[in-house]
Amino acid sequence: MALGSLSLAQTKRDEPQKKTIVDEVVWMVGDEPILLSDIEYQKLFARSQGLTFEGDPDCIIPEQIAVQKLFLNQAKIDSIQANDTQVTRMVDMWVQNVISELGSKEKLEEYFNKKIGQIREEQATQVRNEEIVRAMQQKIAQGIQVSPSEISSFYKSI
């Protein structure tokens, strides 16, 4: 269910105002919206990677994005950032892999219906966010120590 939508008004003289839906806000995480376009891009990206979902991607993907936004918010508070050199290297590798799978840069642009610069920029944002989330998860888990016997006891209990 959409919480709202963003629209552009198209007006002409002597005609009633028409609205074209540009995007929809699906969820809010604090002050951060999760847009329908974010979900659609993630589905397209998953398909490009050959990933499948156990369950409905329209439910799973927004949940994953929401959790990511929570980690990113905490990372911002804790001043955790990603290594830009590593992000650039990962994006370059991803672009080259996808181009080799699809056959050409033009086919990549056609698949995502965007120019290569836009694709790189969106992928860089995604990779940067994933790296920040990973660093935040490591920071949270760094002080946790679990013994092998505790792990064994836990699995026996379930």
Other residues' Cβ atoms within 10 Å of the Cβ of residue 24 = 18
Whose CA is closest to 117, among 134, 105, 107, 129? 105
Please give the pLDDT value at position 49.
79
pLDDT value of position 83:
93
Give the span between the Cα atoms of 60 and 65, in whole angstroms.
Answer: 9
- In whole angstroms, what is the distance from residue 140 CA to residue 127 CA? 20
Distance, CA of 68 to CA of 47 (rounded, Å): 20
Q: Supply the pLDDT for residue 30.
A: 79
Average pLDDT by stretches of 10, the chain with 158 residues: 47 58 84 88 84 88 91 89 94 94 92 92 93 91 86 88
Q: What pLDDT does residue 52 have? A: 86
